[in-house]
Chain A
C-alpha cells in the first residue's frame, strides 16, 4: 500500500458527461501529480499541485481541470467527455515540490466513456 488513495476505482459514464476523480495523498506529502495512462501507453503527465497551488501543467486538455484543497486532497475534473478520454488516471504524491524525489502512486481510477 503506497498510502495514496484514489476514488472511485472504476467509473463508467456517457459521452458529454462530467466526472470528478478524487485523490488523497500520503500523510505529509504536499505535492500531488495527475497522470493519464491510455491502453498500452505510458504515463502522461497532466498537472501538478503543491500545497494548494498549481505548480506545473503537462498535456492536459482544456476540458480537464484540477484543484488541491486545504486538507491537501485533490480532485481532477473531466468534462464534455469523449470516447478517447477512456483511460486509467493515476494520482501520485511526494513530500516536496521537486521532481527529484520519491513519488508514490495510487491504484488509479479506470474511466470508461461509452
Chain B
C-alpha cells in the first residue's frame, strides 16, 4: 500500500508568519492529495486538495504544491492566525482508502 511520511511533527510559528508542512508518498500512481485539519475534539476537516495534473492550488491563505517527480507535496499557510492552531494531516490514496501521514501539530503564538 501507499506509504505517507509527514514532517515536522510539531511546528510553532508567530502569528502572521508562514507555516509549511511537507509530505512524501511512495506510490507514483497516486493522483489525489488532500489535506485535513483536525481541531481538538473534532473530526478531520478537508481544507484543500490537489490532483496530479496541476502543480499548485491556492485557496485564500492556504496553498498546496505538488512535485510528482520527487513524490512530495506541501501545505503552505500564510499570515497565520491563532485559529489555524490544529493538527494537520496529509493523505494519499491507496487502492481503496486514503493513507494518512502521522500529523503535524501547528501552534500559532499570538
Contacts and interface: CB of A to CB of B under 8 A. Distances in A.
Contacts of B95: 56, 99
B32 A101 contact: yes
A31 to B, nearest CB: 9
A107 B44 CA distance: 8
Interface of B: 30-32, 34, 36, 42-46, 49, 51, 89, 93-103
A48 B99 CA distance: 13
Contact of A99 (B42, B44, B97): B97
A97 interface: yes
Shortest Cβ-Cβ A-B pairs, 10 listed: A56-B96, A99-B93, A100-B32, A105-B43, A43-B100, A100-B93, A42-B102, A105-B44, A107-B43, A45-B97
Nearest to A42: B102
18 contacts: A43-B89, A45-B97, A45-B98, A56-B95, A56-B96, A90-B43, A98-B93, A99-B32, A99-B95, A99-B97, A99-B98, A100-B30, A100-B31, A102-B49, A103-B98, A105-B44, A105-B45, A107-B43
Interface of A: 2, 4, 6, 33, 41-43, 45, 48, 55-56, 58, 90, 97-108
Contact of B46 (A6, A41, A98, A104): A104
Given A48-B97, A103-B98, 17 more contacts: A33-B98, A42-B89, A42-B102, A90-B43, A90-B44, A98-B93, A99-B95, A99-B97, A99-B98, A100-B51, A101-B32, A102-B34, A102-B46, A102-B49, A105-B36, A105-B43, A107-B43
B43 A108 contact: yes
B97 A33 contact: yes
